[in-house]
Amino acid sequence: MSKVLVTGGAGNIGSFIVDQLIELGHQVVVIDNFYNGKFRNVADHLANNRIDLETADIGSYEMVKYVFDKYKPEYVSHQASLMIMDSNKFPHKAIETNITGTFNIIQACNEFGVKKLTYGSSSSVYGNPRYIPVDENHPFDQQNLYGATKVAKEALMHSWAYSHNVPYVGFRYFNIYSERQGIGAFYTQVFQKWIHGINDGQEIVMYGDGEQTMDLVHSYDAAKANILAMFNDNVKNEHFNIGSGQETKVKDLLALIEKMLGKKALVKHVESDPHLVRRRCASIEKAKKMLGFEPTISVEEGTKRYIDYLLKGKI
Ligand SMILES: NC(=O)c1ccc[n+]([C@@H]2O[C@H](COP(=O)([O-])OP(=O)(O)OC[C@H]3O[C@@H](n4cnc5c(N)ncnc54)[C@H](O)[C@@H]3O)[C@@H](O)[C@H]2O)c1
């Protein structure tokens, strides 16, 4: 049994990492400032005294150091971040959380002798794909501030791992969705907006022609990749794509939601922003080969879970 700290542990991916760590019998500490995290994502574990929760901001090194000193974690999974839309809206906050915050976590891992650090990068580092499926050697072409902060994160991880010996594993997540997500993930927020909108008979917005694609993978599976990497001593200082390897057209996702709800959407078509990525499709061969990663939740199953959760009134 190990002590594991999860930053952003009340969020979409982080809370699934927390669940899986607890299931494996580890002791878990969560840092979250609840900017986009949900108390209900960790409420059961808190009620059952299965986690320690520190409501703290990773932008403050004093705060980060205080938490590391108090719990002395052996492993860390760093998922706290400002998402795409808020990063563009609040650029200084994006730098403070995604770059300074990440550096604070790396530095504390170094100071407190953490055995391994896993963390969330993003497919945003690639920009608009030059070829499909996108593998890890695809050139970087970050086209927004969020993508730039992810490239900076990767550079910090790489440089500090070599000069200070903090082993890391980073994940370039593609479109990671779950019923637990807040708003702010530009592409996958359609789940919440469309499920509620269609169910309530309200107009929903479709950007562009609906031919644009996402590579959707459920947060449960993204969390699993973190667990596989964390405790595998043979894998360190690597980045992996995490997706399903399949493209889903936005218009097909809409049709799926309509079918599952048994209702037709009132769709308002809006011109697409040319800055938005038109296709996402990951090559996940590296993660399959080196980590034994396999996505297990289909888009149909994930959408069903999302609908059940939302319409039970939990969001
Ligand atoms: N969901 C996706 O599609 C996706 C895609 C690419 C990359 N990622 C990356 O994966 C990671 C996890 O994303 P997610 O989908 O779980 O998002 P999320 O917003 O649900 O989770 C992030 C968590 O971090 C917390 N947080 C934000 N700023 C903080 C701060 N300064 N201090 C402490 N906590 C803070 C939020 O409250 C939230 O609980 C992030 O690094 C994100 O950039 C996600």
Q: Which domains does the chain possess?
A: 3-177+216-243 (3.40.50.720)
Binding site membership of 14 for ligand 1 (Cβ less than 6 Å): yes
Rg (CA), the chain: 19
Ligand 1 contact via 242 beta carbon (within 6 Å): no
Instruction: Quote the CA–CA distance of 203 and 193 in Å, as a whole number.
Output: 10
Closest CA to 168 of 156, 177, 179, 183: 156
Q: Is 87 in the pocket of ligand 1 (CB under 6 A)?
A: no
Pocket mutation for ligand 1, best pick of 78, 81, 168, 217 (most atoms within 8 Å of C-beta): 81
Please give the Cα distance from 226 to 238 (Å, whole number).
12
Distance CA 163, CA 22 (A): 32
41 C-beta closer than 6 A to ligand 1: no
Looking at residue 313, what is its pLDDT?
65
Per-residue pLDDT of the chain (315 residues; tens, 9 = 90+): 999 999 999 999 999 999 999 999 999 999 999 999 999 999 999 999 999 999 999 999 999 999 999 999 999 999 999 998 899 999 999 999 999 999 999 999 999 999 999 999 999 999 999 999 999 999 999 889 999 999 999 999 999 877 888 899 999 999 999 999 987 677 888 999 999 999 999 999 999 899 999 999 999 999 999 999 999 999 999 999 999 999 999 999 999 999 999 999 999 999 887 778 899 999 999 999 999 999 999 999 999 999 999 987 654
Q: Answer yes or no: are the C-beta atoms of 29 and 74 closer than 8 Å.
A: no
Distances (CA, A) of 38 to 43, 179, 225, 266, 315: 9, 11, 22, 30, 10
Helix (H) or strand (E) segment spanning residue 147:
helix 145-164
User: Does ligand 1 lie within 6 Å of residue 31's CB atom?
Assistant: yes
Atom of ligand 1 nearest to the CA of 119: 41
* Nearest ligand 1 atom to alpha carbon 38: 39
Phi, psi of 2 (to 5 degrees): -120, 160
Please give the number of the atom of ligand 1 that sits closest to the Cα of 57.
32
